[in-house]
A and B are shown apart, each in its own frame.
Chain A
Amino acid sequence: MTNTSNFSRRELLRIGGIGAISTALLAACGNEAGVVADKAIASLGTVPPTTALAEAEVTDIVLLRTAASLEYNAIDTYKWALDDGLFTGDYAEAAEAAKRFSDDHRLHADAINKIVVSLGGKAHTCANERIDRLYIQPAIKLITTNGNADSSKDAVMLAHALESLAAQTHQGLVPVVMSPEIRGEMIRIGGYAARRAVILAQILNPGLALVGPTVDATTGATNVASVPSAFGGLASIKASFGPANSEGAKTALAMETPSLNGLVYEFVTC
């Protein structure tokens, strides 16, 4: 039998406790004595210099620049769809609408930027990069996938989703902007986006039967409605694009209004 076998559980705990106290005491003495930790021991290479994050204030100017950026997202998307000749067949009517809508978006962007400049800010004349990267480019990739038989319909779906997103964004800005005058202007422009969404919903699902919220009897999916609810909602907008899989389901995207990391701060440039 060795000596260690004579240690009881109580003795082990006592010895362990003494060890911990001793370590803490030595460390404290080292600090008091001015002992400097040796950086060479635990690190390799050099620490790169850090870049301080830009300070950003969420002002009416930033919110309005963000609203302007969405107008350019729509302008760019309509240009892409028209240039690619996507509005054809049952959806040919969308081509005329897209030209008109694109002009209106430009006027709305100018109207918003005019307010931005009047408040002392700098006009923002290009698309929201985050919205483009997260939603529009993935949708375009799906729409233009080889073998997608619904590319025309999907292009109208994308336009409808973007108009709904613009309407929601303007509605969502109302309680956030400081000036009542700007709130009125936001809802005036947002109201036009809502009207454009209805026109596109009617191109997708013409007639009165699908004006209100309905569900596809075959797939169980929610149909695109002209008037989906009694009050304007701020929930994410779901839209499906691209070729259907073996079960008939398409890839769904959930689009959300710009959040703090999607705002066009004053340091953001085109």
Chain B
Amino acid sequence: MPQLKPAAAAPPPTRPTSADVELLAVAQGAELAVRDIYADVIAARAFSDEQLSVLTMFHDHHNEYAQALNGLLSKNAPNTRNQMLYSTFASRAKSTTTALSALHELENILVSTNTDLLGRLVGLDGAKLVASIAIVESRHAAVFGSTPEMVISAALINQSSSLLSAIPRPSATADVSTTTTVAG
């Protein structure tokens, strides 16, 4: 094994910066909104037991994400859902014909938001948590694309926008292009 030298640059902070706190609060509000929409869909009892089992699992995951963000943000956690996101999807979630496609779209929105978030977060604790959430939300979205029948492109493609689009980015810290569009 080669002799290792530490990288020259100073390591990033572990705890969220004040800018991170603002961004992570948006993420928590989104998780709570999606959790509540899952709860509405489950409460309607319009799906099979197998479907309800998966929907309940995903609902619980979003609840865990909101709780984990609450732990990270502590007293700065808003603990309130993103009402605009909830209202936009609430009516679609009440119809059995559109509920699953609404949930699919919501999962993709969360993936886009968390990916965008990771490109902005400075503190490592927040980045680690959001990365572990975004990977599984990608899986959630793919489940909706691959069941009840397999449609590979539906499982892979994500054309949703980030909820952080309205929040301006701080000036770039590195000359890195993140605008490549692959896999859809």
Residues of B within 8 A of A119 (CB): 174, 176
Knowing A179-B176, A199-B146, A227-B136, say if A57 contacts B5 (CB, 8 Å): yes
Q: Is residue B119 contacting chain A, with contact meaning CB distance below 8 A?
A: yes
Write out, one digit per residue, whether chain B residues 35-74 have a CB within 8 A of any chain A CB (1) or not (0).
0000000000000001101100110110011001000000
Question: Which of A9-17, A27-35, A181-189, A241-249 lies at the interface?
Answer: A181-189
Contacts A198-B155, A229-B136 given: A181-B150 contact, CB under 8 Å?
no
Q: How far is B51's CA from A227's CA once the two chains are assembled, in angstroms?
A: 14
Most chain B Cβ neighbours within 10 Å, of A60, A181, A182, A209: A181
Query: Which residues of the partner chain A approach B7 to less than 8 Å between Cβ atoms?
Result: 57-60, 178
Inter-subunit contact A111/B182 (CB<8 Å): yes
Task: Decide yes or no whether B21 CB sits under 8 A from chain A.
Answer: no
Looking at the assembled complex, report how far the CB atom of B1 sits from the nearest CB atom of chain A, in whole angstroms: 5
Question: A69 on the interface (CB 8 Å rule)?
Answer: no
Q: Mark B84-128, 1 if CB is under 8 A from A, else 0.
A: 000000000000000000000000000100111111111010011
Residue B139 interfacial (CB < 8 Å): yes
CB-nearest residue of chain A to B136: A232
The reply to whether the CB of B167 lies closer than 8 angstroms to some CB of chain A is no
Which 10 A-B pairs rank lowest in CB-CB distance, beginning with the nearest?
A: A184-B119, A232-B135, A191-B138, A56-B2, A198-B142, A107-B182, A195-B142, A174-B131, A232-B132, A181-B176
Are B150 and A93 in contact, CB atoms less than 8 angstroms apart?
Answer: yes
Interface residues on A, range: 35 or more
Docked CA distance A191–B133 (Å): 10
Q: Does A47 contact B (CB under 8 A)?
A: no
| 15 residue pairs bridging A and B, Cβ less than 8 Å apart | A107-B180, A107-B182, A115-B177, A171-B131, A174-B131, A180-B127, A181-B178, A184-B115, A187-B114, A197-B139, A199-B150, A199-B156, A207-B147, A229-B136, A260-B4
Fill in one digit per residue for A149-161: 1 if any B CB lies within 8 Å of its CB, else 0: 0000000000000
Q: Is B183 an interface residue (CB 8 A)?
A: yes
Whole-angstrom CA separation of A230 from B114 in the bound complex:
15
Q: Which residues of A contact B163 (CB under 8 A)?
A: none
Total inter-chain residue pairs, C-beta < 8 Å = 208
Partner of A199, one of B114, B128, B134, B142: B142
Given contacts A187-B131, A208-B51, contact A181 B172 (CB under 8 A): yes
In the complex, whether A190 has a CB less than 8 A from a CB of chain B is yes
Identify which of residues 136-184 in chain B touch chain A, using a CB-to-CB cut-off of 8 Å: 136-143, 145-148, 150, 152, 155-156, 158, 172-178, 180, 182-183
Distance (whole angstroms) from the CB of B101 to the closest CB of chain A: 16
What is the bound-complex CA distance between A111 and B141, given in angstroms? 23
A135 at the interface (CB under 8 A from B): no
Among A58, A60, A171, A184, the residue within 8 A (CB) of B4 is A58
Determine whether A196 belongs to the interface, using a CB cutoff of 8 Å to chain B. yes
Q: Per-residue 0/1 for A205-227: is the Cβ within 8 Å of any B Cβ (1 yes, 0 no)? A: 01111011000000000000011
B133, A231: Cβ atoms under 8 Å? yes
Q: Which residues of the partner chain A approach B9 to less than 8 Å between Cβ atoms? A: 178
Tell me if A167 is interfacial: C-beta within 8 Å of chain B: yes
**Do B152 and A97 have beta carbons less than 8 Å apart?**
yes
CB distance from B162 to the nearest CB of A (A): 10
Chain A residue nearest to B175 in the complex (CB):
A118
Contact between chains at B139 and A230 (CB < 8 Å): no
- The answer, yes or no, to whether A42 is at the interface (CB within 8 Å) is no
Point out the residue from A107, A180, A182, A198 that lies within 8 Å of B183, measured CB to CB. A107
Counting CB contacts under 8 A, is A55 at the interface?
Answer: yes
Contact between B178 and A185, CB atoms less than 8 A apart: yes
Q: Pick from B53, B132, B175 the residue with the most CB of A within 10 Å.
A: B132
- Asked if A53 CB lies within 8 Å of chain B CBs, one says yes
Tell me the bound Cα distance from A259 to B15 in angstroms.
25
Is A72 an interface residue, CB under 8 A from the partner? no
Quick check: B136 and A195 within 8 Å, CB to CB?
no
Q: Which of A59, A111, A183, A226 has the most CB of B within 10 A?
A: A183
Q: Is A250 interfacial (CB-CB < 8 Å)?
A: no
**Which residues on the B side are within 8 Å of A199 (C-beta)?**
142, 146, 150, 152, 155-156
Docked Cα-Cα span, A195 to B151, in Å, equals: 12
